[in-house]
Chain A
């Protein structure tokens, strides 16, 4: 599980201070599929960056899988990212120079897994996303949807507890977005906690839980069935 207590994030530039997150209290339980929505600039990516240990914060406590990460040094944070978290980004963020196989292998190498172990996991992950035959291709030889599936394979190859996704379908057409969403649901069903930022209400509603961020503040959203009916009408 993931637990934030009183976490704030302030960006300071020469001109202004931006309170990107204000006193966030949040508890996400193991196995949840959480969708985060909110207007542009409200702090969704900031939240994901903190949750994913890509950025540090000044105030509050953050427990990732029971460990308080505040005050950890850079190496500890890197190792935690490697072990516990898989990332999926809007812009895929594959390593363009490397074939798919080596792309997926990167985090496994950082974990220090043996060659045989890596091979087994890479192949398994490629299998899961349905790209087993493309191991030697370069990212540029794939469609956007396929690239995102590779990114997902890379994110899950290390069997992390958490999958953090920042608008994973933002660059995809609806058919491909559908495929990616189905994949995420499948992964969630096998036990991985997923936190996904999205602008797409329909996708958000397929999640167990909806969280809205508004001006740096986090709150749970309850959809009623009636809401859904009104929207559809």
Chain B
């Protein structure tokens, strides 16, 4: 291969060549970051929920009267809901499975540099385990007397999920250990461990779908509105939805903002996820398309610029395949440089992401597949205008133009 002479010739066309290298590098970086993010997004796709989500209803009332005693109203609502035929258990919570978005950092020590662990903390009463049909794995479950109603009082005990226990203590025993709910403050003792359930979009995205904690707490005030979770007799959830809504038509000071089965929230969570991944991929594909047109255009331009040169090479004994090989090699050099640069940029950003977001999206195999794909696209984008190059008649050398 005449790589050296191609390099010498590229030296004379530095500007164009560097622009192509930059364009390919940019495409490589954006494409691989998008694909890596999309892959990370889809990795945690459709995991088991850990709860009978078809039989659980979420009801979210909105209280609009600031003078109202919300805590009392919540108690009243819970009683009325409990009375509906088909409702097996009701619990007020501050977060809803599949939609828990308040991500908290908890710690295992008070030190300044203590490692943080991500989790969703569900404040609820003692019935949450029953509503979600969670299994007690170790320790004890909360009872009515554990639930704190005083907004100023602090919890001293917590239950955590199995995955949370593993995240915090690996395989060690979590029971009776202390966790700090804030940096250097709010220590609570782990008294029970329950089976896993899906928390919400954010932690799911980071591969921490099942890291949850339950605080026995029902201190509802005007600013902190609860959701009610209702466990229904299997199969009755859909048909009872309207009965549940009716309860709220008759109540003062609140209206029904949302009522739906958890299966719908689950669907929404993954739908949003899917369309985000799709958006990444579509943007990338458009970019790849633009780049391949760019390369085809560049080669096309080069072919027009170098008709005479091509003719000279043909006159000197170059076969048509030599001409094609020339353009392919030249572009491969440019592409290789671009891919190299793009990979460096990708590595840099995924490293940044991994330190910033504690998320490792890097997948070297995927990166190589993308590089190969881009190289292949390049070959095609060169080959098409290259066919025009090989048709340049050698007689051009004596006839001009």
Contact = CB atoms under 8 A, between A and B. Distances in A.
Interface stretch (A46-54, A180-188, A198-206): A46-54
Interface residues of B, number: 27
Contacts of B395: 49, 54-55
Contacts, number: 82
A107 B319 contact: no
A52 B315 contact: yes
B8 A93 contact: no
B345 interface: no
A162 interface: no
A95 B312 contact: yes
Nearest to A138: B12
A109 B2 contact: yes
Interface stretch (A62-70, A77-85, A171-179): A77-85
A91 B315 CA distance: 14
Interface string A136-171: 001000000000000000100010000000100000
A107 B316 contact: yes
A107 B317 contact: yes
A110 B397 CA distance: 18
A154 B316 contact: yes
Contact of A110 (B4, B308, B317): B317
B319 A74 contact: yes
B308 A102 contact: no
B154 to A, nearest CB: 77
B313 A54 contact: no
Interface string A71-106: 000110011011100010101011111110010011
Contacts of B399: 45
Contact of A82 (B2, B9, B312, B316): B316
Contact of A78 (B308, B317, B393): B317
A63 B322 CA distance: 26
A95 B398 contact: no
Contact of A81 (B308, B317, B321): B317
A89 B317 contact: no
A99 B308 CA distance: 17
B5 interface: yes
A52 B314 CA distance: 12
A54 to B, nearest CB: 4
B314 A78 contact: yes
Nearest to B5: A102
Given A45-B399, A48-B398, A81 B316 contact: yes
Contacts of A81: 315-317, 394
Contacts of A94: 312
A174 B321 CA distance: 41
Nearest to B394: A54
A111 interface: yes
Contacts of B9: 95, 97-98
B318 interface: yes
B13 interface: yes
Which has the most chain A C-beta neighbours within 10 Å: B2, B316, B397?
B316
Interface string B77-119: 0000000000000000000000000000000000000000000
Interface in A34-51: 45, 48-49
Contacts of B4: 102
A142 to B, nearest CB: 16
B8 A97 contact: yes
A175 B9 CA distance: 32
Contacts of B304: none
A95 B13 CA distance: 13
Contact of A54 (B8, B13, B315, B321): B315
Nearest to A50: B395
B320 interface: yes
Given A45-B398, A48-B398, A49-B398, A99 B316 contact: no
Contacts of A91: 400
A89 B397 contact: yes
A89 B319 contact: no
A113 to B, nearest CB: 12
B309 interface: yes
A98 B330 CA distance: 14
Contacts of A95: 9, 309, 312-313
Given A45-B398, A49-B398, A95-B309, A87 B316 contact: yes
Listed from nearest, the 9 A-B pairs whose CB atoms lie closest are A82-B317, A97-B9, A107-B316, A97-B12, A110-B317, A102-B5, A54-B395, A78-B319, A54-B394
Given A82-B317, A98-B9, 10 more contacts: A54-B393, A78-B317, A79-B317, A81-B317, A87-B397, A95-B309, A97-B12, A105-B5, A106-B316, A110-B319
14 contacts: A45-B399, A49-B395, A52-B315, A54-B394, A54-B395, A87-B315, A87-B397, A91-B400, A95-B9, A95-B309, A106-B5, A107-B317, A109-B2, A111-B317
Interface of A: 45, 48-49, 52, 54-55, 74-75, 78-79, 81-83, 87, 89, 91, 93-99, 102, 105-107, 109-111, 138, 154, 158, 166
